[in-house]
Amino acid sequence: MDVGVDVPSESASPIVDAPQSPSPSNHGWLPLLDDRSPDPDICPFLRAVDDRDRMVAPVEAPDPANRCAALRDAVPQSLRQQELVCLASGHVNCPRYLRGAVVIAEAPDPVVRSRRSLTPAVFVSLVVLVLAASASVAFVLRGGDLELAAAPQTSSPAPSATAVAAAPVTPSPTIGATPTPTASPTPTASPTPSPSPSPTPSPTPTPTPRPTAKPTVRPATTSDRYRLLRPCPGTPRCWIYRVRSGDNLYSIANYFGVSLESIYSRNPWTRTQSLRAGQELRLPPPTR
């Protein structure tokens, strides 16, 4: 199975014909960009993707992992586009750079609401409200006793002596004393003796035999990628791949399911040299 090459074509013409315009807000938005390159000649919207598809700082050389993050989606750029525009001072003429700078410059500033001060009128109102509430609570605690004013009595004609004499005198009944019930003594419960707990004998622990360790069997390699590899002599978890025509680091890492950083760490010379057919690369075990 041949290794597929899935990178943008390097023959794509770079975007350099846009008219030059000054950066908005005098580049005041540049500190807002995270993970941008410290080199001012490199586009601040240039990023790279790691082996987990996360956006990180860009590779400061033409690399398939670099992306343009000026707009909503990160877009891969050809190696020639990166060399002539993204990694050069001419990136300020790129339409993507100009549009991304305008979007960031137009971001609204956060609105900070001023804290209201307490005016004297509001303070006096609060004091009156507290005093009224305190008076209401005190009235409720006293039982709500209010003495109502006595209603005025209207003058009625005095009864005549004849009427008083004619009215029979009815004796008022006498109220007898009501006997008060006497409380009967409540019987007290006698204490019940609680049984004393008897000591329980603790069981004697039985010695448990220790299991014997079984040798770990290494799983056999089942991926079909191993037929293109051979093991590194004297180095565990290391495989050698012979570069074929049309290969590049990005396509090799994608085919074997390994990260570009793992290839760089095992082959430091690949950071400064290009791949040629017949060269040998050291790779970690493939995951595909």
Instruction: Kindly state whether residue 174 falls inside one of the protein's structural domains.
Output: no
SS3 of 76, please? strand
Residue 76 main-chain phi, psi, to 5 deg: -65, 150
**Strands 46-49, 55-56: parallel, antiparallel or unpaired by DSSP?**
antiparallel
Instruction: Kindly state whether residue 195 falls inside one of the protein's structural domains.
Output: no
Mean pLDDT by 10 residues, the chain (288 residues): 41 43 45 74 89 87 88 86 88 87 66 66 91 88 58 50 45 50 53 56 62 49 83 94 93 94 93 92 93
Q: The domain that contains 252 carries what CATH number?
A: 3.10.350.10
Which of 105, 134, 149 is a domain's end point? 105
> Which residues does 241 contact at the CB level (< 8 Å), separation at least 6?
228, 229, 252, 256, 280, 281, 283
Q: What is the pTM of this model?
A: 0.29
- The domain total for the chain is 2
For the chain, what is the total number of helices (H) and then of strands (E)?
6, 7
Q: Nearest-CA neighbor of 30 among 39, 18, 21? A: 39
Instruction: Give burial (CB, 10 Å; 0-12/13-18/19+) of 239.
Output: buried
CB 19 within 8 A of CB 90: no
Instruction: Kindly state whether residue 191 falls inside one of the protein's structural domains.
Output: no
Q: Given this model, what pLDDT does residue 203 score?
A: 59
Instruction: Kindly state whether residue 186 falls inside one of the protein's structural domains.
Output: no
Q: Given this model, what pLDDT does residue 135 score?
A: 87
Altogether, the residues listed in the chain come to a count of: 288
Which of 89, 105, 121 is a domain's end point? 105
Q: Given this model, what pLDDT does residue 154 score?
A: 52
Instruction: Kindly state whether residue 49 falls inside one of the protein's structural domains.
Output: yes
Helix (H) or strand (E) holding 281: strand 280-283
105/55 Cα distance (integer angstroms): 22
Residue in the block written with tokens 């050698």: 240
Domain range for 262 is: 226-283
Instruction: Kindly state whether residue 213 falls inside one of the protein's structural domains.
Output: no
Instruction: Kindly state whether residue 97 falls inside one of the protein's structural domains.
Output: yes
Residue in the block written with tokens 């000591």: 199
Instruction: Kindly state whether residue 129 falls inside one of the protein's structural domains.
Output: no
Q: Given this model, what pLDDT does residue 40 score?
A: 86
H helix intervals, the chain: 79-81, 95-105, 120-141, 161-166, 249-256, 260-266
84/71 Cα distance (integer angstroms): 20
Q: Given this model, what pLDDT does residue 188 score?
A: 55
237/193 Cα distance (integer angstroms): 76
Residue 161 main-chain phi, psi, to 5 deg: -65, -30
Which of 49, 82, 105 is a domain's end point? 105
139/135 Cα distance (integer angstroms): 6
